[in-house]
Amino acid sequence: MSTIVQKFGGTSVGSTERMKLIANRIVEEKKKGHDIVVVVSAMGKTTDTLVQLAREISSNPSKREMDMLLSTGEQVSISLLTMALQEQGVEAISFTGRQAGIQTDSILGNAQIQSVDTSRIRNELDKGRIVVVAGFQGETSDGDISTLGRGGSDTTATVLAAKLKADRCDIYTDVNGVYTSDPRFVHKASKIASLSYEDMLSLATMGAGVLHPRAIKYAKEHQIKLFIKSSFEKGMGTLVSVEKQSHSEIYVIGVAFKENIARISISEFEDGDSLQAKLMLELASRHIQADIYKQYFNNVLTVLIKEKDLQDVLSILHKEKNNLTYRNLEYENGLAKVSVVGRNITSHPGIKEKVCKVLLKNKVKVKLVGESSISVTAVVEKSEVYIAAERLHAGFGLDFIVTEQVHV
């Protein structure tokens, strides 16, 4: 009998009505004769509500207590979804991360799974039960509840799929697959029927929010077939798996973007390399994500961060001014990053120029252009990001892609 892991995100279990719909889908799959393990996130805005409660009490709550608090969100989901399954007449049982045998390291708030003892899950599957596991959480060797950080439920699902030697891992979400760009804003974006782990990772890294990079990396390592599907619509979704030969020629996969970006430009410094290195360390130690670009021609270091981190980064820069040896900085927010994502981008020197040309032709103001092996990224005004994405999508021939069908 084959095992399938199904993961449902917060929107999919956002209300008791939705839980009942989800329960139908799970039972359908169960009736095909599979062993089913379901991984769920917290309901809708539960996590935000809990974070808000903590903020009312402390501006800097301890990580252990935050994990104690946030892990309740998934615990509510698993119990309710299991009730919905039982209501359909199937046998089901819920497990917290700990009960599912998930042991993590002790980096509370951002823990990594270290081992999984699947014996309790396997035991319940053998009894014919659907096992519903709380995503995003585990237990440390000290017996503390830990959470896995952003995208944690995706990680729980892929790790369980690997440990249970599952046939596949279905990631149910509020979109019906992976697209060449975000179809809510880029209307000619088309669904990608199948893509490689590497390409999925590139899209996710540059802003496609459908799947967390950490989960993709894990799936790749263990060659877990991932299907991205809609919780609410029927349809094939997108298969993420080992690369097929036929895909190797395409070098642009899609256009991704991230909004609410702020820029800080630092100038008049003594040693740019040392400044960059020190700043990267400072930010990493505070878990602040940043892209740092050095423009040699005018001796400016540009830091791109999320708007919400702007005040923190400015105060770090202010405090460390002497240590970082710079004299001037200026900043702005209300920006966005739009990226043409592909493979071996730096070995196709035409791409960067084409990005600039397309945006220039469409009168999109470009603040900065950077490139990496997987993307060319332009920083633009937030108000122009959708038009920029749409034009780049057309400009790189993505409007006309016909996707192949994959059958499960």
Does position 76 bind its own copies by CB under 8 A? yes
Task: Name which of 30 and 263 has its Cβ closer to its own copies.
Answer: 30
Nearer to its own copies, 52 or 289 (CB): 52
Determine the size of the site formed for its own copies (CB under 8 A): 37
Does residue 87 belong to the site contacting its own copies (CB under 8 A)?
Answer: yes
Q: What is the DSSP string of 332-357?
A: EEEEEEEEEEESSGGG-THHHHHHHH
What CA–CA distances, in Å, run from 66 to 47, 72, 79, 147?
11, 10, 21, 9
The DSSP code sequence of 136-187 is TEEE-TTS-EEE--TTHHHHHHHHHHHHTT-SEEEEEESSSSEESS-TTT-T
Return the residues of window 149-188 that contact its own copies according to CB under 8 A: none
Residue type, 224: I
Question: Does residue 51 bind its own copies (CB under 8 A)?
Answer: no
The one segment of 17-25, 248-256, 322-330, 371-379 that binds its own copies by CB under 8 A: 17-25
Q: Which is nearer to its own copies, 50 or 394 (CB)?
A: 50
Which DSSP string corresponds to 269-303? ES-HHHHHHHHHHHHHHTT--EEEEEETTTTEEEE
Taking CB under 8 A as the criterion, the residue among 6, 41, 71, 153 binding its own copies is 71
Question: Per-residue x/- mask for its own copies, residues 91 to 130, rule CB under 8 A?
Answer: --xx-x--x--------------------x----------
Minimum distance, C-beta of residue 110 to its own copies, in the bound complex (Å) = 17
**Which two three-digit tokens encode residue 317?**
């820069």
Rule CB under 8 A: say whether 259 interacts with its own copies.
no
Return the number of the residue (127 or 244) whose C-beta is nearest its own copies: 127
Rg (CA), the chain: 23
Question: Residue 145, interface with its own copies (CB under 8 A)?
Answer: yes
Asked if 389 and 368 count as a contact pair (C-beta separation under 8 A), the reply is no
Q: Among residues 148 and 324, whose Cβ is nearest to its own copies?
A: 148
Backbone angles phi, psi at 346, to 5 degrees: -65, -20
Contacts with its own copies by CB under 8 A lie at: 16-17, 19-20, 50, 53-54, 56-58, 61-62, 64-66, 68-69, 71-72, 75-76, 78-80, 82-84, 86-87, 93-94, 96, 99, 120, 143-145
